[in-house]
Chain A
Amino acid sequence: MSSTDESSGSSPVIEFREVGYKLANQSLLCDISFSVSAGETLVLLGRSGAGKTTALKLINRLLTPTYGEIQVNSRSTISWDPILLRRSIGWVIQESGLFPHYSVEGNIAVVPRLERWPEDRVRARVSELMQLVGLDANLRTRYPHQLSGGQRQRVGVARALAADPRILLMDEPFGALDPITRAELQKEFLDLQRRLRKTVVMVTHDLHEALRLASRIALLDSGKLIGLFGSQEFAHSQDERVLKYVSPFREAALPI
C-alpha cells in the first residue's frame, strides 16, 4: 500500500544539515544534523521549549530554517513547492486540530478532496481508513465535538494517512489523552506502523512513550541536539546529559 519507490533504503527520507532557526534573534535551534531513514520512527524527545516542535515544523516548511537546509526525499524543503511538500507529508497534532465544521468523513477526506480525487474513491478511502484506525463506521457523520478524545485522535491519524504519504509528522499526538486511552493508542500505533512502515517523526516529552514507540530517539535540549540513541541504548545510557533527562522519571516511577 505504501510506496516502495526507494527500496534501497540507503538514502535518508529526511535529512537535517547543520540547521539553525532563529526567531527575533533568539536561537531556537542550533546546528542540528540528523537523518531519518525510510520506515523508522524517530522520536524527538526533550523538555518543553527544547525546540522539538520547531524542528518538526521545519520539515513540512511551516517554518523555514535560518541557516542550513532540510532535505525531504533528497530535495531541500525550500526548493519544494510548499503546498506539494505538505500534501505529501501527513501531519498529526495534539488535540488533533480537527476542523470543527467538518464531519469525521469531511475531516479525513480533506487532502484527497484538495487533490480532487473522484468522490467514490474518496468515500472508499474514508471507509478503509476508519477501519484501519479502529473507528466505528457509524461515527462517519459525527462532528469532532461529539467524539471522545481518543476518537478525535484516531480521526487525526486517519486524516494524516488519507493520501497515503510516505512521511508522517506527529506533534505530541497522544499528549491530551488519559493514560489508558494513550496506552491503547500507542499500541495501535505500533500495530499500524508494522503494517504501513511510514517514515515517522514524532515529538513527545514523555520518556515512556518515546521508549515504547521509537526506533531511535533524538534528545534535544535548549535547541541543541544532545544525541541520537536507539531505544534500548537510551534507556541504559550512562551519558550525563541523558541521565539528567531520564533520572527524574526513574525517581518518579512507582514499583509496579
Chain B
Amino acid sequence: MLNFFIRNRGQIASLTLEHLWLVGVAMAFAVIVGIPLGILVSRNPWLRKPVLGGTNVLQTIPSLALFGFLLPAPWLGARADRLAIVALVLYALLPIVRNTYTGIMSIDPAVREAAIGMGMTGNELLTQVELPLSAPFMLAGIRIATVTAVGVATIAAAVGAGGLGELIFRGVAMVNDQLILAGAIPAALLAIVADIALGAVEKRLRVPNP
C-alpha cells in the first residue's frame, strides 16, 4: 500500500493540488456570494423564505445529479472544472448564507440599538458591530461548507473535472482497492486539515466569552 503511494506520488500530488484548487476557487466564490446574500436576508425579512428555502433545495439535490443537471448548460458544460466549481458553490451556499443570517440575527438587540442610538450609519453598524459579532458564525458556516466541498469535489471527476475523485472512480471501475484509497485517504486528510485550520481561525474570532 505504502509502496503504491510512493510509486504514484507524483500523480497523487498533482490530483490533490487540482482538488484543492477546485475547492478553493469554489469556496472563494461561495463566500463572495453567500455572505452578502446572508446580510441581505437579515436586512429584508421577506427574502428569508425564498433565499434560505432555495439554498436548502439546492443542497437536497444529490451531488451526482447536480453535476448531471448542469452538464447540458451552455456555458458551464463547455469546461468540466467550470461546471464543477459552480456545482460546489451551489452546495456551499446554504451553510454560509444561513450562518451569516443567524449570526447577525443573534446579536443582542440592545447592542444594535445602542449602536444606532450613538449615531452609527448603516455601514458603520455593519462593519463595526454586526460583522465582527457574527464572524464566528460565518466562519462556522464556511468551515462546514469547506469540509463538505472536499467530499463532494471527489464526484467532480465523474464529469471529468479531475481531482482526487479520478483515482476513486478509476479504482471502482478496475476493482482496485489501492487506487480507491489513493484517492480517498488524501481527500479525507484534506477535509480534516481544512476543518482544524478553519476551527482555529473560528476560535480566534470568537469574542472572549464569560
Contact = CB atoms under 8 A, between A and B. Distances in A.
Is the A/B pair a real complex?
yes
Given A95-B110, A97-B110, A101-B133, A60 B117 contact: yes
A86 B117 CA distance: 6
Given A99-B111, A100-B133, A93 B117 contact: yes
B207 interface: yes
B119 A111 contact: yes
Interface in A78-120: 82-87, 91, 93-101, 110-111, 114
A114 B118 CA distance: 10
Interface string B163-204: 000000000000000000000000000000000000000000
B117 A114 contact: no
A145 B132 contact: no
Interface string B112-129: 011111111100100011
Contacts of B72: none
Given A114-B124, A145-B208, A145-B209, A97 B119 contact: no
B108 to A, nearest CB: 8
A100 B111 CA distance: 8
Interface residues of B, number: 21
Contact of A91 (B108, B117, B124, B133): B117
B119 to A, nearest CB: 4
B125 to A, nearest CB: 11
B10 interface: no
A97 B208 contact: no
A145 B119 contact: no
B207 A100 contact: yes
A149 B128 CA distance: 24
B113 A62 contact: yes
A82 B118 CA distance: 10
B74 interface: no
A83 B119 contact: yes
Contacts, number: 60
A34 interface: no
B160 to A, nearest CB: 46
Nearest to A111: B118
A57 B114 CA distance: 11
B45 interface: no
Contact of B210 (A91, A110, A145): A145
Contacts of B114: 91, 93, 96-99
B113 A97 contact: yes
Contacts of A97: 108, 110-111, 113-114
Nearest to A145: B210
B120 A114 contact: yes
A62 B111 contact: no
Given A101-B207, A145-B208, A145-B210, A114 B110 contact: no
A98 B111 CA distance: 6
A102 B114 CA distance: 13
A143 interface: yes
Nearest to A62: B117
A111 B114 CA distance: 11
B202 to A, nearest CB: 15
B117 A83 contact: no
Nearest to B109: A97
A126 B117 CA distance: 20
Interface of B: 108, 110-111, 113-121, 124, 128-129, 132-133, 207-210
12 contacts: A62-B113, A84-B119, A86-B119, A91-B114, A91-B117, A91-B118, A93-B110, A97-B114, A98-B114, A101-B133, A110-B118, A145-B209
Interface of A: 57, 60, 62, 82-87, 91, 93-101, 110-111, 114, 143, 145-146, 159
Given A94-B110, A99-B111, A114-B119, 17 more contacts: A62-B113, A83-B120, A83-B121, A84-B119, A91-B117, A91-B118, A95-B110, A96-B114, A97-B111, A99-B115, A100-B133, A101-B133, A110-B118, A110-B128, A114-B118, A114-B120, A145-B209
